[in-house]
Amino acid sequence: MTDSQHQTQKLPLLRVEDLTVRLRGEAGIVHAVSDVSFQLQRGQTLGIVGESGSGKSVMARALMGLLPRRATQQLDGRVSLAVDGRVLELLKLSEREFRTLRGPRLAMVFQDPMTALNPVLTLGVQIAEPLQLHLGLNKAQAMARALELLAQVGIPDPEGRLRQYPHQLSGGMRQRVVIAIALACDPRVLLADEPTTALDVTVQRQVLDLLLALQRERQMGMVLITHDLGVVANRADHIAVMYAGRIVEYAPTSRLFSAMRHPYTEALFKSVPRLSDPSHTRLHAIPGRPPQLIDPAPGCAFAPRCPNVQQRCRRETPALTQAGDEHLHACFYPIGSREVGA
Amino acid sequence: MHLVLRKLPWLIGTLLAVSFFTFLLVSLLPGDPAVMILGAGGVSPEAVAALRAELGLDRPLLVRYFDWLGSALTGDFGRSPMTGQSVMDAILSRLPVTIQLGVMAIIIALLLAVPLAMLSAYHAGSRLDRAISGLGFALMSIPSFMMAIFLILILAVSMNLFPATGWVPFSVSPAANLRSAALPALSLAMIELALYMRLLRTDLISTLQQDYITLARAKGVPNWQIMLRHALRPSSFSLMTVVGLQLGGVISGAIIIEEIFALPGVGRLLYQSILQRDLLMVQGIVLFIATAYVVVNFLVDLSYSLLDPRVRHAD
């Protein structure tokens, strides 16, 4: 990219470069995230899609500065967050500095609303806490604001709910509370880690639509993490497909669906059941098992399960390469290339 | 209040069972109380029989039980045949000492154990954690009477900070009272401390792995506030239970310590009554201990609902 192009492009809200995370596990060092790079603009949604164990959640936690300190073997790369005209290097911040960003700058919605709320504190207290902490509101002001937030996330009778405890709410309602907590201090970046996976199907859509509406209204940058391509299909501006801790394909959403290049993306796509399929159509499953992230073998991590696999794939790890405007993939023999089947 | 009504029948049933077994325990002990009172050698069978009749020992067991229970309910445990003192009066006059001792010990233990456990759990696996756990093990493996002797040697004999033995009632001089209770309470506290610390540390470590702790961190809550506000309360159920058990058990726990420090408490009374074969006194104290135990645990049960709203709303 030339200098002039660089200037015309807006300063990204969040820029991640070569993020690498290795964790100490019981069985060895887990290569959870390897060389992940992406950018997120204000008001945009990036969908990150991958199977469980692909490093999505670890990545989200790394961005939030929430990795378990003792278990973190390696945390490399650059994460730059644009805040009030300044650019903060998140990985270089002290724990104390990072803490002041969590809430007002970066916030996170967790996967399981049944376990994400403290069972012994009222919802009001849990929503008011970041407001008192970061915005310096007193208890009454914070509670008044918590009430507004509950109403904004679509909880009926918010006044009564403030004094209730998490166990008195359904899963969908709890997830709305988790979203209210995340939005309390008006964050610039929202990380939603499988925000609807633990919910009933009928509630999933409502919660996703709520997230999207709030994101547009507040012009947040959102990273929507999911294992389900269908969740991000109509909602994300860009999609990054993750496999074994790496981004294997990245493209604007419409382009990804019209011209996917990586065999793994295609396999994921095929494994989404469609209502338009005739009934009793066999669901396409990806053969083999998700990759081992402890002492990974050389070569492409998807090679053992890949329909297009060649000799080279087992020796070298393909780098993420440009395949057109804003479209990147990490495959030696992508879909549509001549060598496939040769 | 529902909770209280639901649990009350259990409380009463338990107390009845406890009283029956207490009564049985002493009645089934080998040896005739009348013979013990009169002395073993050279007593005429007529004298023994007369005393048995006087004590009511010639009546059937169940009759004697209900008779005893009926008086016990009115606070009358009978009179010690040795000293002629009313068993209830004897217990009540010594109870404040024992309660003060037990409560002080538990407070000291909690004041030390809670911060240490939080420190240990927060740094789980670190050198500090291992040092604190090691200290806990050491304290736990020292019997209370040894601890008492150590403390007397160091704090009373060498440093002369506290009196080695004796008791000053609170009404005489509050300061001197606290000084006289300090060493015995500390001896008891040291062992409780280790137990509390281990329990709370384990529960805290598992609480700290909960999602809601990560969410609290994601809100930018400082670590100390996470420990105090988010982690401590959901982690304190086992601790509450054990503190309750210990509170109920202070009398039996204090037997040896009261004897070592020559404190006029119920524990020492029990010890001396056992030595003197004062069965009626022993029976009264055992029933008293057991009742205290059951009632305190009933209260602990109720207190769970204060700690956990899920229990409160379970009705």
Residue B105 maps to a domain: yes
Nearest to B219 among A103, A115, A119 (CB): A103
| B233 interaction partners in chain A (CB closer than 8 Å) | 120
Chain-centre distance for alpha carbon A135: 26
**What is the C-alpha separation between A299 and A301, in angstroms, rounded?**
6
**What is the C-alpha separation between A131 and A142, in angstroms, rounded?**
6
Contact A115 B212 (CB under 8 A): yes
Give the gyration radius of chain A's Cα atoms: 21
The residue with tokens 């792995």 is B209
Which residue of chain A has the CA closest to B218? A102
pLDDT at A3 over 50: no
B123/B67 same-domain check: no
Position A32, amino acid? A
Residue among A120, A134, A174, A183 with most chain B CBs within 10 A, to mutate: A120
B69/B99 same-domain check: no
| B121 interaction partners in chain A (CB closer than 8 Å) | none
Residue B295 maps to a domain: no
Contact A120 B308 (CB under 8 A): yes
Going by DSSP bridges, is the β-strand pair A29-40/A45-49 parallel, antiparallel, or unpaired? Answer: unpaired
For the ranges A169-183, A309-323, B30-44, B71-85, the lowest mean pLDDT is seen at B30-44
Q: Is residue B175 a contact partner of residue B162, using CB atoms and an 8 Å limit?
A: no
For the ranges B1-15, B118-132, B155-169, B266-280, the lowest mean pLDDT is seen at B1-15
B101/B51 same-domain check: no
| A64 interaction partners in chain B (CB closer than 8 Å) | 218
Contact A165 B310 (CB under 8 A): yes
Instruction: Find the mean pLDDT for residues A130-138.
Output: 95
| A61 interaction partners in chain B (CB closer than 8 Å) | 214
Hey, how many other C-beta atoms are within 10 angstroms of the C-beta on B269? 26
Tokens found for residue B76: 């009358």
**What is the C-alpha separation between A263 and A270, in angstroms, rounded?**
11
| B210 interaction partners in chain A (CB closer than 8 Å) | 115
The residue with tokens 């309470």 is B185
B50/B156 same-domain check: no
pLDDT of residue A6: 47
DSSP bridge partners of A243:
A246
SS (H, E, C) chain B: CHHHHHHHHHHHHHHHHHHHHHHHHHHHCCCCHHHHHHCCCCCCHHHHHHHHHHHCCCCCHHHHHHHHHHHHHCCCCCECCCCCCEHHHHHHHHHHHHHHHHHHHHHHHHHHHHHHHHHHHHCCCCHHHHHHHHHHHHHHHCCHHHHHHHHHHHHHHHCCCCCCCCCCCCCCCHHHHHHHHHHHHHHHHHHHHHHHHHHHHHHHHHHHCCHHHHHHHHCCCCHHHHHHHHHCHHHCHHHHHHHHHHHHCHHHHCHHHHHHCCCCCHHHHHHHHHHCCCHHHHHHHHHHHHHHHHHHHHHHHHHHHHHCHHHHCCC
Contact B211 A116 (CB under 8 A): yes
Helix (H, G, I), strand (E, B) or coil at A102: strand
B63/B131 same-domain check: no
**What is the C-alpha separation between B158 and B165, in angstroms, rounded?**
14
Q: Is residue A21 a contact partner of residue A293, using CB atoms and an 8 Å limit?
A: no
Confidence band (pLDDT; 50, 70, 90) for B67? confident
Q: Any idea how long chain A is? A: 342
Nearest to A134 among B212, B220, B230 (CB): B220
Instruction: Find the mean pLDDT for residues A16-36.
Output: 93
B116/B17 same-domain check: no
pLDDT of residue A175: 94
**What is the C-alpha separation between A52 and A242, in angstroms, rounded?**
10
B141/B228 same-domain check: yes
How confident is the model over A58-72, as pLDDT tens digits? 999 999 999 988 888
pLDDT of residue A342: 38
Which residue of chain A has the CA closest to B308? A120
Nearest to A99 among B211, B214, B222 (CB): B222
pLDDT at A116 over 50: yes
Q: Is residue B200 a contact partner of residue B114, using CB atoms and an 8 Å limit?
A: yes
DSSP bridge partners of A241:
A49, A249
Element (H, E) at B298: helix B279-307
Residue B12 maps to a domain: yes
* CATH number of the domain enclosing B210: 1.10.3720.10
For residue A302, the 8-state DSSP code is T
Per the structure, the count of domains in chain B is 2
Q: Is residue A46 a contact partner of residue A212, using CB atoms and an 8 Å limit?
A: no
pLDDT of residue A141: 95
| B313 interaction partners in chain A (CB closer than 8 Å) | 165, 167-168
Element (H, E) at B24: helix B2-28
Mean pLDDT for all residues in chain A: 89
Terminal C-alpha separation, chain B? 10
Nearest to A118 among B125, B230, B313 (CB): B230
pLDDT of residue B130: 95
**What is the C-alpha separation between B3 and A293, in angstroms, rounded?**
51
| B303 interaction partners in chain A (CB closer than 8 Å) | none
Confidence band (pLDDT; 50, 70, 90) for A323? confident
Tokens found for residue B267: 């524990």
Helix (H, G, I), strand (E, B) or coil at A38: strand
Helix (H, G, I), strand (E, B) or coil at B179: helix
Mean pLDDT for all residues in chain B: 86
Exposed/middle/buried for B84, CB within 10 Å: 0-12, 13-18, 19+? Answer: exposed
Q: Any idea how long chain B is? A: 315
Confidence band (pLDDT; 50, 70, 90) for A191? very high
Residue among B127, B212, B223, B304 with most chain A CBs within 10 A, to mutate: B212
The residue with tokens 């009222």 is A122
B121/B249 same-domain check: yes
Pick the residue with more confidence: A52 or A314? A314
| Phi–psi pair at A260, nearest 5 degrees | -65, 145
A142: distance to nearest CA of chain B, Å? Answer: 14
Q: Is residue A109 a contact partner of residue A211, using CB atoms and an 8 Å limit?
A: yes
Domain carrying residue B56: 2-73
Position A76, amino acid? D
Hey, how many other C-beta atoms are within 10 angstroms of the C-beta on B182? 18
Exposed/middle/buried for B218, CB within 10 Å: 0-12, 13-18, 19+? Answer: buried
Residues from A in contact with B at Cβ < 8 Å: 61, 64, 66, 70, 99-104, 107-108, 110, 112, 115-121, 129-130, 133-134, 165, 167-168, 178, 181-182, 184
B104: distance to nearest CA of chain A, Å? Answer: 29
B196/B260 same-domain check: yes
Element (H, E) at B192: helix B174-208
B176: distance to nearest CA of chain A, Å? Answer: 42
Contact B309 A134 (CB under 8 A): no
pLDDT at A150 over 70: yes
The winner for highest mean pLDDT among A277-286, B78-87, B171-180 is B171-180
Residue B288 maps to a domain: no
B6/B130 same-domain check: no
Residue B120 maps to a domain: yes
Confidence band (pLDDT; 50, 70, 90) for B41? low
Q: Is residue A154 a contact partner of residue A174, using CB atoms and an 8 Å limit?
A: no
Residue B216 maps to a domain: yes
Terminal C-alpha separation, chain A? 34
Residues from B in contact with A at Cβ < 8 Å: 125, 210-212, 214-222, 229-230, 233-234, 307-310, 313
**What is the C-alpha separation between A231 and B306, in angstroms, rounded?**
41
Helix (H, G, I), strand (E, B) or coil at B67: helix
A207: distance to nearest CA of chain B, Å? Answer: 18
Q: Is residue B196 a contact partner of residue B242, using CB atoms and an 8 Å limit?
A: yes
How confident is the model over B74-104, as pLDDT tens digits? 878 878 877 788 888 999 999 889 989 999 9
- Sheet strands side by side (includes A86-89): A29-40, A14-24, A72-83, A86-89
pLDDT at A341 over 50: no
Tokens found for residue B72: 């016990």
**What is the C-alpha separation between B287 and B281, in angstroms, rounded?**
10
| B307 interaction partners in chain A (CB closer than 8 Å) | 120
Residue B78 maps to a domain: no
Residue B82 maps to a domain: no
Contact A112 B211 (CB under 8 A): yes
A206: distance to nearest CA of chain B, Å? Answer: 22
B159/B206 same-domain check: yes
Q: Is residue A290 a contact partner of residue A267, using CB atoms and an 8 Å limit?
A: no
B140/B9 same-domain check: no
Contact A167 B309 (CB under 8 A): yes
Query: Which ipTM value was assigned to this complex?
Result: 0.88
